[in-house]
Amino acid sequence: MTLKRVAMEFGMGTDLHGMDYTKAAVRALKDALWHNSLSMADAFGFPRDAMQVEVLIGVAQPDKVDKAQVAAVLPYGSAKVIVEHGGLDIEKDKGDTTVMANAAAVVYFDIAEGAYTK
């Protein structure tokens, strides 16, 4: 069997006042997921839990993201969360900073080369 990419979704999230990188990352992933209705599992004849989702998060301080909280956003499937340097920290007046995170959710299924399962 071979992992085949079947979908990619992108999102952006912020934390306006708390400098909470996890909150911004969670919001970015929700932005990526909540704007679509993917039906690949049904189309390929797989259960939804067969989805393997690679979640890529970009924030200015990657070590401040709780990967487990980000993974918990996914409604089904298994998650692999990778956090890299990216996003933006936007300094504001009075020492306050807005955190911006970017997310990509890449969905894979384990499909035999050239196979059609339905």
Per-residue pLDDT of the chain (118 residues; tens, 9 = 90+): 688 898 899 999 999 989 999 999 999 999 999 877 777 788 878 898 889 999 999 999 999 999 999 999 998 889 999 999 999 999 988 888 999 999 999 999 988 755 555 5
pTM of the model: 0.89
Per-residue pLDDT at 41: 83
Per-residue pLDDT at 30: 96
Torsion of CA 80, 86, 90, 91, to 10 degrees: 100
The first and second tokens of residue 27, run together, are 């919001």
Please, which residues bridge with residue 55 across strands?
Answer: 81, 105
Per-residue pLDDT at 56: 98
Structural domains in the chain plus CATH codes: 2-111 (3.30.1330.20)
Cβ(70)–Cβ(25) below 8 Å = yes
Torsion of CA 75, 28, 14, 81, to 10 degrees: 90
Count of CA atoms in the C-beta half-sphere (13 A) of 10: 3
Q: Is 113 helix (H, G, I), strand (E, B) or coil?
A: coil
d(CA 94, CA 74): 36
Per-residue pLDDT at 46: 87
